[in-house]
Amino acid sequence: MLRFCFALVLSSLASVALADLSGPLRVIDGDTVVIGETRIRLHGIDAPEKAQFCGSRTAPMWPCGSWITGEVRARFDGRNARCAAVDIDKYGRTVARCEVAGEDLGAALVRGGLAFAYLDYSHDYLPQQAAAMQRGAGLHGAGVQSPADFRKAARRGHDAQHLAKAPDGCVIKGNISSRGNARIYHVPGQSWYGTTRISPAKGERWFCSEAEAQDAGWRRAQR
Which of the listed residues 135, 167, 202 is the one where a domain comes to its end? Answer: 135
Whether 194 is covered by a domain: the verdict is yes
DSSP designation for 190: S
Whether 6 is covered by a domain: the verdict is yes
Mean pLDDT of the chain: 83
118, 44 Cβ separation under 8 angstroms: yes
Whether 151 is covered by a domain: the verdict is no
Whether 39 is covered by a domain: the verdict is yes
Whether 148 is covered by a domain: the verdict is no
Question: Domain count of the chain?
Answer: 2
Which of the listed residues 70, 105, 135 is the one where a domain comes to its end? Answer: 135
- pLDDT of 126 reads 96
- The pLDDT tens digits of the residues spanning 38-53 come to 999 999 999 998 878 7
Q: pLDDT-derived band of residue 152, with 50, 70 and 90 as boundaries?
A: confident
pLDDT at 10 over 50: no
pLDDT at 94 over 90: yes
What 3-state class would DSSP assign to 163?
Answer: helix
Which of the listed residues 67, 101, 135 is the one where a domain comes to its end? Answer: 135
Stated pTM of the model: 0.66
Cα–Cα distance for residue pair 32/95, rounded to 1 Å:
9
Q: Are residues 123 and 168 in the same domain?
A: no
- The pLDDT tens digits of the residues spanning 97-148 come to 999 999 999 999 999 999 999 999 999 999 999 999 999 899 887 667 788 8
Whether 61 is covered by a domain: the verdict is yes
Q: Are residues 40 and 87 in the same domain?
A: yes
Q: Are residues 26 and 113 in the same domain?
A: yes
User: Residue 57 is part of a domain; what is its CATH number?
Assistant: 2.40.50.90
Where in the sequence is the domain holding 199, given as residue range(s)?
156-220
pLDDT (mean) for 198-212 = 82
DSSP designation for 39: E
Closest among 220, 213, 151 to 192, alpha carbons compared: 220
Cα–Cα distance for residue pair 176/184, rounded to 1 Å:
6
Q: Are residues 111 and 59 in the same domain?
A: yes
Q: Are residues 122 and 161 in the same domain?
A: no
Q: Are residues 26 and 105 in the same domain?
A: yes
Cα–Cα distance for residue pair 206/175, rounded to 1 Å:
9
Other C-beta atoms closer than 10 Å to the C-beta of 175 total: 21
Whether 150 is covered by a domain: the verdict is no
Question: How do strand 183-186 and strand 172-176 relate by DSSP bridges?
Answer: antiparallel
Q: Are residues 124 and 203 in the same domain?
A: no
Q: Could you tell me how many residues make up the chain? A: 223
* C-alpha torsion angle, residues 107, 108, 114, 115 (rounded to 10): -10
Whether 143 is covered by a domain: the verdict is no
Residue 95 or residue 141, greater confidence: 95
